Chain A
Amino acid sequence: MPQASQVNPSVIDTLHAAGERPAVVYRYAGDRFLLLEYGEMVLDLTMNFRIFGLNEAIKRADIDGVIETVPALRSMLIQYDSLRLPTRELVETLKKLEDAIPSVDNLSIPSRRLELPMAFADQWTRSDIERYVKYTRQDAPNVINGHNIEYIASYNGLKDVEEVIQYLCATEWWNACIGFWPGLPFMFPLDPRYAIVTPKYNPTRPWTPEGAVGIGGPCVAIYPVASPGGYQLFGRTIPIFDLQQRNPAFKANPILLKPADRIQWVRVTDDELEAIRARVYDGTYRYKLVEYEVLNVKAYRRFLDSVKDEVAAFQRRQAEAVKHIPIP
């Protein structure tokens, strides 16, 4: 018989930070989901790497009753069958797994590398941005000369559109998680020297072309389908979601990207993009995807350490620029 209702706090259990391991909080998300969080609410890609280490560990452990895992920036949502696997037992198993995860420095995360062609400040995003100015907000400060890309430049203290493009192409983009819309990636720059940031649209934009790419805060997203959106657009790429599975890349399922993929932009013209998009749909284009790569976190952290002065210099430049730029 159920006992008289006595409330559960939302936190089931915690682990204090110890050595390399961040603090861990285990939260109820109803009776079928559990939410695990690492560390503090800060943007730190090493937390995301640890999430992937944990994800691998959970998969390897093959825990009876775990249905699926949803990695995000510093958290992981786990769906489980609480009738087969009591919550307490799942938490104990997860706590033990924390000891089994190698320190972040020793993690090697399986990570595919994908080159995607990108037409910067292209005609298709331009058209929807112009519609926004016409029908939604005529005085939008984030639209300069009919596009967002000059605003991105000025907000980050970059001298022109060319420098924005140079920055965006200078780093690989780490797909921390997929969500909201089927196949929509949340990507962050692996090279923080090129970590541009922007505020979001206000109000949001009712139209965005499929394949548009934009940035909101520090995060870059590709729009899998034509939809409303709030990110500052800087270009358009090829499809990452195709229901009709017209290209071999979509044969297994209509969603191309996975968490832990790395994306590299390759600059093309509008005409070139249009030609490639046609070949995607007639099935002859081969996505430039390298399957068997890993991200070595130790090497990556050494790299971060080697560039920290340059990162700080860019952040000062951004902080100075922001003072003079209106927020939408």
Chain B
Amino acid sequence: MFEVLEGGIQTTVQDFPGRVGYLALGTYPAGPMDHFAFRVANLLVGNSQGTAALEVTVGGLKARFHDRRVLAVTGADMHATLNGRPLPLWESVGVESGDQLEMKTVKATGFRAYVAVSGAFDVPDYMGSRATFTVGGFGGFEGRGLKKGDRVPLGRGDGIDRLIGRRLRPSLRPPYASHWEIEAMRGPQADPDYLTPADMQFFFSHAWKVDRNSNRMGVRLESHKWQWARTSGGIAGGHPSNILDNGYAVWTVNVCGDQPIILVADGPSLGGFICNATLIYASTWKVGQLVPGRDTIMFKEVTIEEATQRARDLDATISERSIDRG
């Protein structure tokens, strides 16, 4: 059992790839904002990569273990400690009953950390997933972020001794920065029919500031005066960003009037605004580490071939071959 002493800013149980298959019923998949760090955390403690684990946003989580397990913390550096002693990132350690985990707040870069334990955070399966969908208030632990006094059951953790001291090879740990390059593909609604080529050129060359008002639903970027390739949205509405409602791909860039918003884990599944670009699977993890109100993004356009190659490379990286012993 995992006893929560302080829940922190926003700590949720997630799994990967989340609640897949319900988009047509209006439900985005939830799941981790940074699937790379999430999956590696599970790999380090010997779980399958999708196993339910914690996403800690900004920091502030304090908890006590009541069982012997293996623990790994990955992602943003929040000065995690175990019983007051610094805890290495991207590395598995053993914990005993009574041990206390404490995470302060993010340092210079990165925004989310992941906490995996051998045997999973054992919350109920809800519509095929254990991921917390913050908008609908379901999944995860009682459909909400963790708070003081919560006692989250842990699944069985076997083979603890051989799982201690596993590290992600240092060369594979992703560098976090305050300026990011994020790979994306043009479309579905871009130039020449909705935006002008110059609009798209601007989109792929500007350093977009991440708005303070960003969360698990949407990561907002600064507003921009687009040229637009048309004067109105016709029957769909007066503004040229309006279209007849259509399904939104997860991790797409939704242009609402003037403002681009990256639709992320808990976003809206359908709506009536264009999406001018869509992040590729291998790069969505970077969004989870963006610091709102400070970081900037440059979108780098890639082809479908490059996107699928990067997907293969990323999946290959999250494997036993990338683990060594400390």
Chain A residues within 8 Å of B, Cβ to Cβ: 1-3, 5-11, 27-33, 35, 37, 41-43, 67-77, 79, 82-83, 86-87, 177-184, 186, 217, 224-225, 243, 253-255, 258-259
Contact = CB atoms under 8 A, between A and B. Distances in A.
B187 A184 contact: no
A7 B304 CA distance: 9
Given A83-B308, A254-B138, A67 B249 contact: no
B234 to A, nearest CB: 6
Given A30-B252, A179-B268, A3 B25 contact: no
Of B21, B185, B234, B268, the most chain A CB neighbours within 10 A belong to: B185
Interface string B134-146: 0111100001000
A178 B26 contact: yes
B26 A31 contact: no
B23 interface: yes
A178 B280 contact: no
Nearest to B308: A82
13 contacts: A2-B309, A8-B187, A10-B190, A31-B304, A37-B246, A42-B234, A70-B247, A74-B244, A77-B247, A179-B26, A179-B247, A182-B26, A253-B25
Contacts of B184: 30
Contacts of A179: 23-24, 26, 245, 247, 268-271
Contact of A178 (B235, B270, B275, B301): B270
A6 B303 CA distance: 6
Given A33-B252, A70-B24, A79-B23, 15 more contacts: A5-B306, A7-B301, A30-B185, A30-B307, A41-B236, A43-B235, A68-B21, A70-B270, A71-B247, A77-B247, A83-B312, A177-B270, A178-B24, A178-B25, A243-B136
Contacts of B302: 2, 5
Of B23, B250, B301, the most chain A CB neighbours within 10 A belong to: B23
Ordered nearest first, which 9 A-B pairs have the shortest CB separation? Answer: A179-B270, A10-B187, A77-B247, A30-B278, A70-B247, A33-B249, A31-B307, A27-B188, A29-B249
Contacts of B137: 243
B118 interface: no
Given A28-B187, A31-B280, A177-B245, A182 B27 contact: yes
Given A2-B305, A73-B245, A183 B275 contact: no
B310 interface: yes
Contacts of A7: 186, 301, 303
B278 A33 contact: yes
Contacts of A253: 25, 127
Interface in B293-322: 300-312, 315
B281 to A, nearest CB: 5
A197 B184 CA distance: 38
A141 B143 CA distance: 39
Nearest to A9: B186
Grouping DSSP codes into helix (H, G, I), strand (E, B) and loop, the A interface class, with mixed when no group exceeds half, is: loop
Interface residues of B, number: 61
Contacts of A184: 26
Interface of B: 20-27, 127, 133, 135-138, 143, 184-191, 233-237, 243-252, 268-271, 275, 278-281, 300-312, 315
Nearest to B184: A30
B186 A8 contact: yes
Grouping DSSP codes into helix (H, G, I), strand (E, B) and loop, the B interface class, with mixed when no group exceeds half, is: mixed
A258 B27 CA distance: 12
Nearest to B271: A180
B245 A5 contact: no
A81 B278 CA distance: 15
Contacts of A69: 24
Nearest to A179: B270
B26 A243 contact: no
Contacts of B251: 30
A182 B303 contact: no
Contacts of A27: 187-189
B304 A87 contact: yes
Contacts of A75: 244, 246-247
Nearest to B280: A31
Nearest to A88: B304
A132 B187 CA distance: 38
Given A3-B303, A28-B278, A79-B23, A35 B249 contact: yes
Contacts of A79: 20, 23, 249
Contacts of A30: 184-185, 249, 251-252, 278-281, 307
A224 B22 CA distance: 16
Nearest to A71: B24
Contacts of B188: 10, 27-29, 35
A29 B280 CA distance: 9
A253 B26 CA distance: 13
Contacts of B312: 83
A31 B303 CA distance: 9
A322 B277 CA distance: 37
Contact of B24 (A2, A42, A87, A259): A259
A240 to B, nearest CB: 11
A280 B307 CA distance: 48
B17 to A, nearest CB: 9
A31 B268 CA distance: 19
A31 B185 contact: yes
A178 B21 CA distance: 13
